[in-house]
Amino acid sequence: MPPLGRLYEVGDRRLMLYRTGSGGPAVVFLPGAGLVGLDYINTHDRVAEVTTSVIYDRAGTGWSDRAPLPRTGAAVAAELSDVLRVAEVPGPYVLVGHSLGGVYARLFAARFPNDVAGLLLLDPFHEDLTADAPQEVLDKLEQMKRPEDLPDLTAEQLQQARVTLDKHFAAWPDDVRGPLVDYRLASWRNAMLEDNNLYDEVSDELRNAPALPDVPLIVITAAGHDATQAALWSEEIVRKTHETKLDLHARLAASVPRGEHRVLDDAGHGYPHEERRDAVLHAIDDLLTAAR
């Protein structure tokens, strides 16, 4: 059982969803790849002070039932619609989509426009991000599609990772910290599996999706240092990626009448909702005000 929330029957699977607060519009968090609903619990708790707030785990991640990964964006969007209905969370919703979750938020909004009151995209992936990427980047991305080729972590590596994760989750509630650390150690391949089709199949879904509905939209670019990205890529590649991302995010925000682009120079890609929780909460509050 999940440390918070409960499992809801959706089709032939059970999905973890946790809701607190009251009123509307409800704010729904869509995790990035490798993250789960409880990664956003601190921000969720603050949002729940002013409206209904929802975190959940997609099938195949977190405390939801297993599912073959990767999945199409259409399947994830339909699943989210179903679990919100089964959990009796009334719409329309303010969707907060982070990274890969931003992709799914866009596809949900395109498919269910009447169920969306606002969109906050936290450093979202964009389908044209690698259009002009150097071959070095494309080669590494291709290698990362094969997590099954990576060796299991040794006992020493697991212990080192546990120490690092314990520090990372130090600000999380006690009843959440331990289960989150255990989950991360047991499922570190999930992030690589879940976005395995991101650069082709899911990107094509975005290109062919209907336009976003005319709802308030805020796109936040995390342009600060990110330890994971720094470990994967050279400084030059990170710099060029940030430049490309800034341009794409600005264009995405400008694609709707009430779109706005904001930049955080002091937050990285992985946890902008923790590094600049104040800015994320401010954006959510702005969207709630506009939606109401």
Name the pTM for this structure.
0.94
Q: Which CATH superfamily does the domain covering 6-133+191-291 fall into?
A: Alpha/Beta hydrolase fold, catalytic domain (3.40.50.1820)
pLDDT (0 to 100) of residue 207: 96
Q: Tell me the pLDDT tens digit for each residue of 122-160.
A: 999 999 988 877 777 777 777 666 766 677 888 899 999
What percent of the chain shows pLDDT beyond 70? 97
pLDDT (0 to 100) of residue 74: 97
Domain ranges of the chain: 6-133+191-291
DSSP at 32 = P
What percent of the chain shows pLDDT beyond 90? 79
pLDDT (0 to 100) of residue 59: 97
Who contacts 218 (Cβ-Cβ below 8 Å, separation ≥6)?
118, 119, 120, 121, 253, 259, 260, 261, 262, 283, 286, 287
Measure the N-to-C terminal CA separation of the chain; round to a whole number of Å.
36
Task: Compute the average pLDDT of residues 259-265.
Answer: 97
Q: Tell me the pLDDT tens digit for each residue of 48-67.
A: 999 999 999 999 999 999 99
Note whether 53 and 77 are within 8 A (CB).
no
| Residue 16 pLDDT greater than 70, yes or no | yes
- CA–CA gap between residue 190 and residue 172 (Å, rounded): 22
